[in-house]
Protein backbone atom coordinates (compact mmCIF):
# COMPACT_ATOMS: atom_id res chain seq x y z
CA UNK A 1 0.00 0.00 0.00
CA UNK A 2 1.43 3.36 -0.99
CA UNK A 3 0.85 6.67 0.72
CA UNK A 4 -1.68 9.00 -0.92
CA UNK A 5 -0.18 11.77 -3.03
CA UNK A 6 -3.26 13.96 -3.39
CA UNK A 7 -3.35 17.50 -2.00
CA UNK A 8 -3.92 17.21 1.74
CA UNK A 9 -7.16 18.59 3.14
CA UNK A 10 -9.08 20.31 4.27
CA UNK A 11 -10.79 21.17 1.02
CA UNK A 12 -13.67 23.64 0.87
CA UNK A 13 -16.38 24.56 -1.57
CA UNK A 14 -16.75 28.07 -2.84
CA UNK A 15 -18.95 30.32 -0.68
CA UNK A 16 -22.72 29.87 -0.75
CA UNK A 17 -23.33 32.58 -3.36
CA UNK A 18 -22.34 30.27 -6.22
CA UNK A 19 -22.59 31.43 -9.77
CA UNK A 20 -23.28 28.77 -12.36
CA UNK A 21 -19.89 29.36 -13.98
CA UNK A 22 -17.84 29.44 -10.77
CA UNK A 23 -18.37 26.19 -8.87
CA UNK A 24 -14.95 25.42 -7.42
CA UNK A 25 -13.31 23.33 -4.70
CA UNK A 26 -10.28 24.89 -2.99
CA UNK A 27 -7.66 23.85 -0.44
CA UNK A 28 -8.06 25.68 2.87
CA UNK A 29 -5.06 27.84 3.80
CA UNK A 30 -5.41 27.22 7.51
CA UNK A 31 -7.24 24.16 8.87
CA UNK A 32 -8.12 26.19 11.95
CA UNK A 33 -9.65 29.02 9.89
CA UNK A 34 -11.80 27.38 7.23
CA UNK A 35 -13.09 30.71 5.99
CA UNK A 36 -9.77 31.37 4.22
CA UNK A 37 -9.40 29.64 0.88
CA UNK A 38 -6.06 29.03 -0.80
CA UNK A 39 -6.97 30.62 -4.11
CA UNK A 40 -3.59 29.61 -5.50
CA UNK A 41 -4.49 25.94 -4.80
CA UNK A 42 -7.60 25.16 -6.78
CA UNK A 43 -8.57 21.51 -6.48
CA UNK A 44 -11.16 21.46 -9.26
CA UNK A 45 -13.93 23.26 -11.08
CA UNK A 46 -17.33 21.62 -11.12
CA UNK A 47 -18.74 21.56 -14.63
CA UNK A 48 -21.70 19.95 -16.34
CA UNK A 49 -24.48 22.42 -15.63
CA UNK A 50 -25.32 22.73 -19.33
CA UNK A 51 -25.27 18.95 -19.73
CA UNK A 52 -27.66 18.56 -16.79
CA UNK A 53 -30.03 21.12 -18.29
CA UNK A 54 -29.91 19.65 -21.81
CA UNK A 55 -29.81 15.89 -21.24
CA UNK A 56 -31.26 15.39 -17.77
CA UNK A 57 -33.98 18.00 -18.34
CA UNK A 58 -33.36 19.65 -14.99
CA UNK A 59 -34.27 23.21 -14.13
CA UNK A 60 -31.53 25.76 -13.48
CA UNK A 61 -32.06 25.38 -9.73
CA UNK A 62 -31.98 21.56 -9.89
CA UNK A 63 -28.82 21.52 -12.01
CA UNK A 64 -27.12 23.98 -9.65
CA UNK A 65 -28.13 21.82 -6.68
CA UNK A 66 -26.51 18.78 -8.35
CA UNK A 67 -23.30 20.76 -8.92
CA UNK A 68 -23.25 22.02 -5.33
CA UNK A 69 -23.78 18.46 -4.02
CA UNK A 70 -20.95 17.18 -6.26
CA UNK A 71 -18.66 19.92 -4.97
CA UNK A 72 -19.42 19.04 -1.35
CA UNK A 73 -18.73 15.36 -2.03
CA UNK A 74 -15.41 16.18 -3.71
CA UNK A 75 -14.44 18.61 -0.93
CA UNK A 76 -15.02 15.88 1.67
CA UNK A 77 -12.68 13.40 -0.09
CA UNK A 78 -9.57 13.94 2.08
CA UNK A 79 -11.65 13.67 5.26
CA UNK A 80 -13.44 10.53 4.04
CA UNK A 81 -10.13 8.97 3.01
CA UNK A 82 -8.53 9.67 6.39
CA UNK A 83 -11.52 8.42 8.37
CA UNK A 84 -11.81 5.18 6.39
CA UNK A 85 -8.06 4.60 6.50
CA UNK A 86 -8.05 5.08 10.28
CA UNK A 87 -11.08 2.84 10.75
CA UNK A 88 -9.54 0.04 8.69
CA UNK A 89 -6.21 0.50 10.45
CA UNK A 90 -7.92 -0.17 13.77
CA UNK A 91 -9.09 -3.55 12.44
CA UNK A 92 -5.86 -5.36 13.18
CA UNK A 93 -7.43 -8.69 14.05
CA UNK A 94 -9.17 -9.17 10.72
CA UNK A 95 -12.78 -8.96 9.74
CA UNK A 96 -13.84 -11.64 12.24
CA UNK A 97 -12.16 -10.70 15.54
CA UNK A 98 -13.58 -13.77 17.27
CA UNK A 99 -12.24 -16.16 14.60
CA UNK A 100 -9.39 -14.78 12.41
CA UNK A 101 -9.45 -17.99 10.34
CA UNK A 102 -12.63 -16.64 8.71
CA UNK A 103 -10.83 -13.55 7.32
CA UNK A 104 -11.68 -13.23 3.64
CA UNK A 105 -14.31 -15.99 3.76
CA UNK A 106 -16.61 -14.28 1.27
CA UNK A 107 -19.35 -13.28 3.70
CA UNK A 108 -21.05 -9.87 3.52
CA UNK A 109 -18.83 -8.49 6.31
CA UNK A 110 -15.64 -9.48 4.49
CA UNK A 111 -17.05 -8.02 1.28
CA UNK A 112 -17.61 -4.65 2.95
CA UNK A 113 -14.05 -4.55 4.28
CA UNK A 114 -12.68 -5.56 0.88
CA UNK A 115 -14.78 -2.83 -0.79
CA UNK A 116 -13.46 -0.25 1.69
CA UNK A 117 -9.85 -1.29 1.04
CA UNK A 118 -10.51 -1.18 -2.72
CA UNK A 119 -11.92 2.36 -2.39
CA UNK A 120 -8.76 3.52 -0.62
CA UNK A 121 -6.61 1.87 -3.30
CA UNK A 122 -8.65 3.62 -5.99
CA UNK A 123 -8.11 6.97 -4.25
CA UNK A 124 -4.36 6.29 -4.31
CA UNK A 125 -4.51 5.47 -8.04
CA UNK A 126 -3.63 1.81 -7.50
CA UNK A 127 -6.59 0.39 -9.42
Q: What is the pLDDT of residue 59?
A: 87
Q: What is the pLDDT of residue 35?
A: 65
| Cβ-count burial 95-104 (b if 16+ within 10 Å, e if not) | bbeeeeeeee
pLDDT in tens, the chain (127 residues): 678 889 888 888 876 555 544 577 888 777 676 666 666 688 888 877 778 888 878 888 888 888 888 888 999 999 999 999 998 887 655 666 667 666 677 788 888 888 998 999 999 999 8
Helices (H) and strands (E) in the chain, counts: 4, 3
Q: What is the pLDDT of residue 81?
A: 96
Print the SS3 string covering 67-120.
HHHHHHHHHCHHHHHHHHHHHHHCCCCCCCCCCHHHCCCCCHHHHHHHHHHHHH
Q: Where are the domains of the chain?
A: 1-90, 93-127
- How far apart CA 126 and CA 1 sit, in angstroms, is 9
Amino acid sequence: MSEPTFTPGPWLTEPADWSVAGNTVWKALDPDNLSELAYEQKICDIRGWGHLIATELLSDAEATAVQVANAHLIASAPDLYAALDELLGETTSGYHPSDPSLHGCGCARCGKYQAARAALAKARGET
